[in-house]
Structure 1
Amino acid sequence: MLDQFRYFLGPSRFRALVLLLVITGGISIFLTFIPGEIAVLLQSALVLIFGVGAAVIVGGRMNNEERLRWLAIIAPALGLFLLGMFFESYRAIFFGGSIGWVIVGLLTFGRARAPMQYREAIKAMRKNNYKEAVDIMTDLIKAEPDVANHYRFRANLLMLWGKYDRARRDYQYIIHAAANDPAALVEGYDGLSGLEMQLGKYDAALEAAKKAYELAPDEWVTAYNVGLLQDRLHHPEQVLEFLGPRLTAHVPDSRHRLLIALYKMRAYARLGDLTAAEAELPHMRHEKGGLNEWQRILASDQAATLRDNFAEDVALADALLQGKTAVSELAPERMPL
């Protein structure tokens, strides 16, 4: 759960939130040794500061709909909390009302749900009816032409359908229309990179992946994508640069950690350092759960694109773990004749 939350925030925002907690918490602990009403008021103010700061940090990672939903939950509770700070005789009532409103707000507004059209498109996709799924998203885009996420989802469906030119147009639209939205830009470049990779255009894919990385260097997935494409282009030094130990520590799921170890192993082998390559094998063994997850995912009817891109990597990782393939075979150009 903590890893997922850290991934959602990103390294910079997560560090900022921890720092805010340490500072406000430390001062609050110090104030417990000071008698008097003023210390209680200052502690309440610190709670307020932390709450507002946390809301800004976390809210910055949400889309507009999610921000408005949480604002409707938090803003009235915050107002009651402030009233409780200024009206001592009614403090218990206001503080209780603040907590009560949060509970009521969560029950009233609940979790954000995907629009009905997304659910219908997903149902059609699962039946391999990609035309119907795309048509549903096209109708939604006509009704809401300024929502970048609609284009991203339609582009993903077009990718699955094999309509690469149409998917490219959607990703390019996101890039051009989202000039002031870094998160949407990253998604646009990331999607375009995946498309070009699917077509075997690794140089174009790497160019788009680097632009995503420049916009979000603290996001593990942007560095991972660059490292993956450097592997495809046989650039071992750059693979090791982007897939270093700092990145692995921030990757939340086992299946990507498995491939990172594989790409690093192959990079070391291509550089002729078989000792360092062998040292990656224990890391791969630690991610056997990720291997099993990959095998389940690739067996899906909707995983054709993933199979094209990663089936050979997953099979190679399996062969290495079973001892059917030697590490030295990862760089055949360096094997003795």
Structure 2
Amino acid sequence: MRRVSYRPTVMVVGLLLAVFLLGIATPVSAGSFTKYATIAAGEGFASPINAVGPPDGARSEGWMGSEGYLWGGGFATESGYITKVVIGVIYRVDIPAVDDTVTLKYSLDGGATFGSTKLTWVPGDTAWVEKTLDITSDTSVNGGSWDWNDISNLKIFVQNTVVGPYSRENEDEWFLNIDDTTVMVDAFFVTVITSETPTTTPTTSPPPPPPPSFDFSISASLSDLTVQRSGSVSTELNVNLVFGIPQTVLLSGVWVGTPPEGVFPSLSPPSGTPSFSSTLTFSTTPEATVGSFTYQVKGISGSIVRTTNVSITVTELAPPAAPTLLSPDDGVVLDTVTPTFDWADVVASSYNLEIAT
């Protein structure tokens, strides 16, 4: 029996399909493209006529008088990732200006807002001259990057401005200041540079700081303390060398949060060379704020800072224990009306003595 195979046909069709798909794929290209305006307009004295491109140097170019402007747009697009955008105008004047100015600027929303990058000059060229402006780094109106949609929305403006403000009071002087210069535009254009891949600005992290030449640690032997009003309590701070050549460490402290009234910390000694110890003492007054507080001790040596926290609770002054009578003996009968009493010392501001008769 004769066998018929269709596999080669399928392979040919597959190859043709692949070639077709490759043919319709839009490659991302790199290159330089100069696009000329296909539409132009203006107002005031402006008469755009053929202020579009490519330039032809004809006498029928668009022109504008004092305080007029022209714009060009309708730029064709290409493909590729945009890396540079330069706008330009080909212009000349009939009479060189003295101090009136021309400004080259651009907009992406029809002239409602303008990019922050502009070019202003006193027009004095009676022969055709190109004026260009690189707007690549100006991302004030395009969201931070350039793409071909921005180019399709691009409008390039030239504005002819009389130097000096206008008002009814100075109207005659203002007209005398007009340079009577006619600015003529032959074409607006934009030059776009593209690449095959997106361009990103590499971000570099700052180098890490060099390791310290030495290091130390700081800790408290007792980190939770309790003290009564009119009292004092202490803990020992241990400042130990971790590595390196010992350097002087300065000790200081600060309350974390609202500091209590009537609680006074002190450090002795306030500095030293690791390893060493320092005594942290809290002294309280009779009116010291009752409550719990946190005191942070800092050890500083150059740029190295180490800390440890000590908690302290201030309580009310507890009533003293009942005193012990030393003399005379309790219950003894005295034969004097001026006896002397003596008892063990207690912290008290007044005493009550009861005598049975």
If the TM-score is normalised by the length of the shorter chain, which range does it land in?
under 0.3
Say which one has the larger Rg.
2
Q: Which one has more relative contact order, counting CA pairs under 8 Å at least 6 apart?
A: 2
- When normalised by structure 1's length, the TM-score is 0.18
More strand by share: 2
